[in-house]
Structure 1
Amino acid sequence: MPDSKPITPVILSGGSGTRLWPMSRPERPKQLLSLTAEETMLQLTARRASGPRFTAPIVVANAFHADLVEEQLAQVDLSVRALILEPIGRNTAPAIALAAVAAGSGSEPMLVMPSDHVISDVDAFHAAIDSALPLVNEGWLVTFGITPDSPETGYGWIKIGEEELAPGVHRVDRFVEKPPRDRAEAMLASGDHAWNGGIFLFRADMYLGALSVFAPEMLVAAQQAMDKARREGVRIFPDAESFAACPSDSIDYAVMEKAPRVAVVPVAMGWSDVGSWDALHAISNPDAGGNVVRGDVVAIEATNCLVQSEPGKRVALVGVQDLIVVVSGADVLVLPRGRSQDVKKLIDAMKD
Structure 2
Amino acid sequence: MTHKIVPVIMAGGKGTRLWPLSRAAAPKQFIQFIGDKTLFQETLLRVSDPTLYEPPVVLTNEEFRFLVAEQAREVDVALSMILLEPVARNTAAAVAAAATLVREQFDEDTIMHVLGSDYEIVADDTYFDSVRIAAATAREGKLVTFGIQPTEPATGYGYLEGGKALPTGAQTVKRFIEKPPLAKAEEMLSAGGFYWNSGMFMFSVSRFAEEMAAYAPEAMKAAQEAVKNGRTDLDFIRLDKAAFAASPNISIDYAIMEKTSNAAVVPSPFKWSDLGSWDSVWKSGTRDADGNVAAANTTVVNTKNSLIMTHGVHLAVQGMDDIAVIASEDAVYVGRLQDSQDVGSIVKMLAATPSTSQLTETHPTSYRPWGGYTSVLNGDRFQVKRIFVTPGKKLSLQKHHHRSEHWIVVKGTAEVTIGENVQMLRENESVYIPLGEIHRLANPGKIMLELIEVQTGSYLGEDDIIRIVDEFGRS
TM bracket (short chain)? over 0.9
Q: Distance in 2 between matches of 1:148 and 1:288?
A: 25
Letter of the 1:343 counterpart: V
Q: Distance in 1 between matches of 2:168 and 2:251?
A: 29
Q: Distance in 1 between matches of 2:219 and 2:80?
A: 24
Residue range with higher mean Cα deviation, 227-236 or 213-222: 227-236
Partner of 2:326: 326
What is the TM-score of this pair, normalised by structure 2? 0.71
Higher relative CO (Cα under 8 Å, sequence separation at least 6) belongs to 1
Q: Distance in 1 between matches of 2:99 and 2:258?
A: 19
Alignment of 1:1-352 (within 5 A): 5-51=3-49, 52-104=51-103, 106-161=108-163, 163-311=164-312, 313-352=313-352
User: Deviation of residue 25 (structure 1)?
Assistant: 0.9
Q: Distance in 2 between matches of 1:276 and 1:80?
A: 30
Letter of the 1:41 counterpart: L
Q: Distance in 2 between matches of 1:123 and 1:63?
A: 36
Q: Distance in 2 between matches of 1:179 and 1:236?
A: 39
Per the alignment, in what secondary structure is the counterpart of residue 338 of structure 1? helix
Q: Distance in 2 between matches of 1:116 and 1:293?
A: 21
Q: Is the 8 A contact 1:82 1:102 kept in 2?
A: no
Q: Is the 8 A contact 1:101 1:226 kept in 2?
A: yes
Per the alignment, in what secondary structure is the counterpart of residue 340 of structure 1? helix
Distance 1:36 1:315, change over 3 A: closer
Q: Distance in 1 between matches of 2:203 and 2:235?
A: 23
Per the alignment, in what secondary structure is the counterpart of residue 333 of structure 1? strand
Q: Which has the higher helix share?
A: 1
Q: Distance in 2 between matches of 1:138 and 1:169?
A: 11
User: Deviation of residue 241 (structure 1)?
Assistant: 0.8
Q: Distance in 2 between matches of 1:71 and 1:59?
A: 13
Q: Is the 8 A contact 1:146 1:194 kept in 2?
A: yes
Q: Distance in 1 between matches of 2:241 and 2:95?
A: 16
Q: Is the 8 A contact 2:327 2:333 kept in 1?
A: yes
Letter of the 1:346 counterpart: I
Letter of the 2:292 counterpart: N
Q: Distance in 2 between matches of 1:216 and 1:25?
A: 34
Per the alignment, in what secondary structure is the counterpart of residue 8 of structure 1? strand
User: Deviation of residue 49 (structure 1)?
Assistant: 1.3
What is the TM-score of this pair, normalised by structure 1? 0.96
User: Deviation of residue 48 (structure 1)?
Assistant: 0.8
- Greater Rg by CA: 2
Q: Is the 8 A contact 1:131 1:166 kept in 2?
A: no
Residue range with higher mean Cα deviation, 131-140 or 50-59: 131-140
Letter of the 2:213 counterpart: S
| Alignment RMSD (CA, Å) | 1.3
Q: Is the 8 A contact 2:137 2:168 kept in 1?
A: no
Q: Is the 8 A contact 2:136 2:168 kept in 1?
A: no
Per the alignment, in what secondary structure is the counterpart of residue 303 of structure 1? coil
User: Deviation of residue 138 (structure 1)?
Assistant: 2.2
Q: Distance in 1 between matches of 2:232 and 2:103?
A: 15
Q: Is the 8 A contact 1:156 1:195 kept in 2?
A: yes
Q: Distance in 2 between matches of 1:23 and 1:180?
A: 29
Q: Distance in 1 between matches of 2:96 and 2:149?
A: 28
Q: Distance in 1 between matches of 2:136 and 2:290?
A: 48
Q: Distance in 2 between matches of 1:100 and 1:34?
A: 30
Per the alignment, in what secondary structure is the counterpart of residue 65 of structure 1? helix
Letter of the 1:6 counterpart: K
User: Deviation of residue 290 (structure 1)?
Assistant: 1.6
Per the alignment, in what secondary structure is the counterpart of residue 200 of structure 1? strand
Q: Deviations over 1:164-208 (max 9, x none)?
A: 112421111111111111111111111111110001110112111
Q: Is the 8 A contact 1:70 1:79 kept in 2?
A: no
Q: Is the 8 A contact 2:144 2:265 kept in 1?
A: yes
Q: Distance in 2 between matches of 1:165 and 1:19?
A: 38
Per the alignment, in what secondary structure is the counterpart of residue 39 of structure 1? coil
Per the alignment, in what secondary structure is the counterpart of residue 11 of structure 1? strand
Letter of the 1:339 counterpart: D
> Number of residue pairs matched?
347
Letter of the 1:151 counterpart: P
Q: Deviations over 1:9-68 (max 9, x none)?
A: 010111113100110112211000112421110010111111121000000012101111
Partner of 2:406: none
Per the alignment, in what secondary structure is the counterpart of residue 207 of structure 2? helix
Q: Is the 8 A contact 2:46 2:123 kept in 1?
A: no
Per the alignment, in what secondary structure is the counterpart of residue 156 of structure 2? coil
Q: What percent identity do the matched residue pairs reach?
A: 39
User: Deviation of residue 122 (structure 1)?
Assistant: 3.0
Q: Distance in 1 between matches of 2:351 and 2:33?
A: 25
Q: Deviations over 1:140-166 (max 9, x none)?
A: 1111100011111111101000x1112
Q: Distance in 1 between matches of 2:226 and 2:300?
A: 53
